[in-house]
Structures are given as structure tokens and as C-alpha cells.
Structure 1
Amino acid sequence: MAKRPVVAVTGPDRGGWVAWAFTALAVWRAGGRPLRIRPGRSRIRNDRLPGIDALVLGGGADVDPGRYGQNPVRLRKELAAEKRHPGHFLIGLILFPFIHILRKLFSLAGSPGPDPKRDALEERFINHALNEHLPVLGICRGMQFLNVRFGGTLHQDLSVLEEERPNLRTLLPRKPVTLLPGSLLHTVFQKDETRVNALHHQAVDRLGEGFRVTARERGGVVQALEHSAAYWLVGVQWHPEFLPHKRRQQALFRALVRAAQEKSPFRK
């Protein structure tokens, strides 16, 4: 009987345990064996990467804006904009404590600023996956980092996009997104539209080389990417790991594991 394919799951050194637990559960349910990878515990020995069969880039701290030629944006634009809209400002003021607690509980924000060590680690693993033609799934920050790795840029402050005001933050699948017909995601979900959760404050701006947008929300913000040249390279802006009760979200992890199984016989 073939062994379960090893799926490396990246995350921060501090926090991230809830996201790891949910992702590990999704990978195991899909038939894979999850392996936690962090900057301080990368399992890299003598400049050699561990034997992995697939890669999941998890959520967390913002990608260093210096990687795509920008300086950090101070999020004062949102406050200035909301002052011109008293209703939006009041709603934001009321919901801020709950959103803050939610993000802390699920360790989505990671450290207060960029995490250069994690950026460097994930770039190394992406390069390894590309060289070995391994399937890769980027989740939230993971999708954003993939886009930056291929020369793309990000919107650092999503609130400045009129389409996203007020920006919906929810763990529940409430945000509708449209899937591109013929894309891998469309094949996995077997439908033209689906609802996803929303826990991000940044988004893809200019596409990285080789990527195409395969899902958008109604305001036009990018919700998924796929690479045209890589073996299996998909990024989603939402968090499918936090929707274990949704069959189509779990199907995304099954597709990842299946791609790993089709790539190699895994040490039978």
C-alpha cells in the first residue's frame, strides 16, 4: 500500500497553531500527511530540503512590501476616508474589538509587521517545488506571496479600494466569488459561483508572470490565481481550511493530494 504523500504546511514561528490544526486536518482527510514548517523549525539540514510531495503556503503576516518595490503603507487612509462617512466609521469602531480578538484567536495576522525569515523560507520551498514539479497551494498570504514571487505586486491597504468598502471580515462563507470556466478551481468546485470567508486586508494588484485570475469577487478584487506553466500552482485569497464542513472546500485539498499522488509513486 502506498504511503500518504507528505504535504509541507508553512506558518509563523509564533502563533498560527489554530490555522495549522485546521490545515493539518484538511490535508489528513484528503489522504496526505501534513508536515509543519516554520522559520525556526524548517527541518532543513545541511542545505537539504526535507522529502516533501506537495506544499501549502499558509496565512499570516504581510509579505514584506520591499519584495515588490514598495514602502510600508501606514493605514491612515482608511481612517481619513471613514471620517467622511460617519456610518462606516461607527460600524468599524463597534466591530474593531471583535475583529481584533478573532484575528488573534486564529493567529491570522501573525507578527505586527513583515516576517523576512518566513519570506525567505517560503521562497526557498517554492523554488524547490517548482524545480521538482510539486503541487503548491497558497492560502491568503500564501497566494499573495506566490504572486510577489513571480514579480507581481499587492494592494497593501484593501480599504482604499472602493469596491471593498465596507470590507467584509468573516469566518463564515458569506462572500460570493465567481470562478473562471475551464480553470482548475472551476473543475474542483463544479460550479460558476461559490461563497467564501474573508479575513484579509490586502489583495493582489499587478499579476505575477504566468498567472491568470481564476476567481473574483463582485467588486473585482482577485480571489484566486492559477499559474499556466507550473505543474499545479493555485492560490486562493480565502481560508478553505476554516470551512471543514463544506465539501467543495475540502475538495480543494483532495485535488492537491491527488496531484501529488499522480506526480510520483511516493516510496511504495
Structure 2
Amino acid sequence: MRPRPRIGITGPDRGGLAAWIMTARAIRRAGGRPVRITPARHPPRGRLDGLVIGGGADVDPGLYGQDPLHLMREIDASEPATGQRLLAYMLYPLLWLLRRLLRTKHHGGDRARDLLETELIRRALADGLPVLGICRGMQLLNVVQGGSLHQDLEGFYREIPRVRSILPRKMVTLAPGSRLAALTGPAPLAVNALHHQAVDRPGRGLHAVAREPSGLVQAIEASGPRFVLGVQWHPEYLPQKVRHQRLFRGLVRAAGGG
């Protein structure tokens, strides 16, 4: 029997447990073997087959500071189908509570994590490993490749309301013919939004493949056959959404040589 691909998942030393739990679950569901990596928990011996550069609470501080009643109103607004809405009533409050309890308390930069993930990204790209960057991970992937970031997004939302929610309440348009569109399907995709920074100029070999109505980049990917993809949203917090889980399946499939 062929062994499951080993997928490294990065995160901070302090906090980040909610993201680790949900991302590891997504990787297992996709057929992979998750391996946790933090500055204090270095990659284990033996080759990794793929890499997830995870998000971080320091990139989106305070975005979960909403009360459960407000969350229920958001569920009603974002999940019109009865079955999805009933599932959301059970799922999202649990995710909200999990994220509140386990979020990182440190809101500043994380130099040790930056150095670790920069080295991991460079090594993965050099070795041809598939890479998935999530939120902060997408931003760091872009920086490693020489791209730039918007340090604060307030200026993008003067006319368009800024959405901050763990629920999929923001619509993004996917570039036709992109790997992202092939994985999730070409139709506009509803995503969540937990960030306050984003990609400005894509780095070397990277292209914007999803944008929100304001024009802000919501996903980047590398050209060619290699799986190098970054998304601004958090697919790990949308386990019931098949289109989002295809990102993890695509990563594990690529890591297994498929």
C-alpha cells in the first residue's frame, strides 16, 4: 500500500491551535499525513512531500470579536439554503469558539516564524514540492518571490463595505484557465475574510488568479504544471464546502505524484 504523502503545516509557537486542528483535519480527509511545524518544532527527519504555509492571528487581530447572536445573523444572511443553514448553525459557532479560545495572543511580528517559513518556502520551490499558502502564508510566499504587500486595506473599502467574517460572505472571481478554477470550478466563489493585509504586486513567476469586487487580489499561483497556490481566505474553516476542500485534495494529489 502506498504511504500517505507527508504534508508539513506551519504555524506559530504560541496559539494557532485552531488553524492547525482544522488544517490537519482537511489534509487527513484529502488522504495526506499532516506534520506540524513551528519555530520550536522543526521539520522532522525525512522528506516532506508537500507544504502548507498557514495563516496567523497576528495578521488579523481582533477579527473574531463578535458575539454569537451577531454570528447567527450572519449565518442567516450568507446561507440561503435550508440544509446549509442548519449545518452552519452547528458548525460556525463551534469554529468561532475554538478560534476565540485558541487564537494567538501575540499581535506583533514573529521574526522566528518569518525566518523558518521563508527557508521552507525556498526549499520547497527549489525541490519542486507542492505548496499551498493560506492568508499570511500567501502573503509570505509572495514576498519570498520578490512581490509586495498592501500593509493596510482600509483604503480599499471606502465605497465597498469591508467584510470580516469566518463565514463565506465575500464573492471572488476566478481567472479562466487557472489551476484554482480547475480545482474549484470556474464559477465565482464565496470566501471568508479574516485579513487586514494582502498581495499588491505578485512576485516572480506568480500571477493573480482571483480578485474581489474592489480589485484586491484574493489568490495567486505559479505558471506551469507545479502546484504553487496561495489563497487569501481560510479554506480550513470551511470543511463543509466541497469547493474549498478541493484545494487540499489537489495539494495532496500533487504531493503523491498524481
TM-score range, shorter chain: 0.7 to 0.9
Structure label with greater radius of gyration: 1
SS at structure 2 position matched to 1:52: coil
Q: Give deviations 1:88-137, integer Å, cap 9, x for gaps.
A: xxxx9xx98428x8796175666211111001000111121112110000
Could you tell me which residue of structure 1 aligns to residue 178 of structure 2?
183
Could you tell me which residue of structure 1 aligns to residue 54 of structure 2?
58
Could you tell me which residue of structure 2 aligns to residue 146 of structure 1?
141
Q: Distance in 1 between matches of 2:121 and 2:225?
A: 11
Could you tell me which residue of structure 2 aligns to residue 173 of structure 1?
168
Does 2:6 correspond to 1:6? yes
Shift of 1:157: 1.0
Gaps of 5+ in 1: 64-91, 264-268
SS at structure 2 position matched to 1:241: helix
SS at structure 2 position matched to 1:171: strand
SS at structure 1 position matched to 2:39: coil
Q: Is the CA contact (8 Å cut-off) linking 2:7 and 2:52 kept in structure 1? A: yes
Could you tell me which residue of structure 2 aligns to residue 205 of structure 1?
200
Q: Is the CA contact (8 Å cut-off) linking 1:226 and 1:235 kept in structure 2? A: yes
Shift of 1:164: 7.4
Could you tell me which residue of structure 2 aligns to residue 247 of structure 1?
242
Q: Give deviations 1:166-207, integer Å, cap 9, x for gaps.
A: 321111111000000100010011123110111111111122
Could you tell me which residue of structure 1 aligns to residue 73 of structure 2?
none
Structure 1 runs (4+) greater than 4 angstroms displaced: 101-104, 106-110
SS at structure 1 position matched to 2:172: strand
Q: Distance in 2 between matches of 1:149 and 1:203?
A: 14
Could you tell me which residue of structure 2 aligns to residue 31 of structure 1?
31
Does 2:123 correspond to 1:128? yes
Shift of 1:160: 2.1
Q: Aligned residue pairs: how many? A: 229
Matched letter for residue 189 of structure 1: T
SS at structure 1 position matched to 2:210: strand
Q: Is the CA contact (8 Å cut-off) linking 1:61 and 1:114 kept in structure 2? A: no
Q: Is the CA contact (8 Å cut-off) linking 1:61 and 1:113 kept in structure 2? A: no
Q: Is the CA contact (8 Å cut-off) linking 1:163 and 1:219 kept in structure 2? A: no
Matched letter for residue 228 of structure 1: S
SS at structure 2 position matched to 1:174: strand
Q: Give deviations 1:13-43, integer Å, cap 9, x for gaps.
A: 0001011000000000000000000001113
Could you tell me which residue of structure 2 aligns to residue 217 of structure 1?
212
Please give the TM-score of this superposition, normalised by the length of structure 2: 0.81
Q: Is the CA contact (8 Å cut-off) linking 1:60 and 1:107 kept in structure 2? A: no
Q: Distance in 2 between matches of 1:105 and 1:141?
A: 18
Q: Distance in 2 between matches of 1:179 and 1:168?
A: 19
